Amino acid sequence: MSDLPDDETLFLKTLVKASRQRPHHVKWVDRDGAERITALTPAEASRLNAIAHARKVSKPEVLRETAHIPVGN
């Protein structure tokens, strides 16, 4: 795999690293009322937790609110 460009090698290494980590699942309700489950890497879960903590809401609430932001904004 040494024939791959550096950016592709880094991308693939990141995928392998993420797949070895225990995913975090967040259950939330989408704007259309559909129940969703989002799988997050530990790094993504930590960042979402920090955002939720700063806003003083739950992680599912952050995702629900985000679902209402129009695409392109």
pLDDT tens by residue, the chain, 73 residues: 678 889 999 999 988 887 888 889 999 999 999 999 999 988 899 999 999 999 999 999 999 999 999 887 5
Q: 26, 62 in Cβ contact below 8 A?
A: no
Q: What pTM was computed for the model?
A: 0.70
Return the sign of the alpha-carbon dihedral for residues 66, 69, 72, 73: negative
What pLDDT shows up at residue 1? 64
* Lookup result for tokens 């980590």: 21
The dihedral over CA atoms of 68, 69, 72, 73, expressed in degrees to the nearest 10, equals 170
Beta-carbon contacts of residue 39 (< 8 Å; ≥ 6 apart): 23, 24, 25
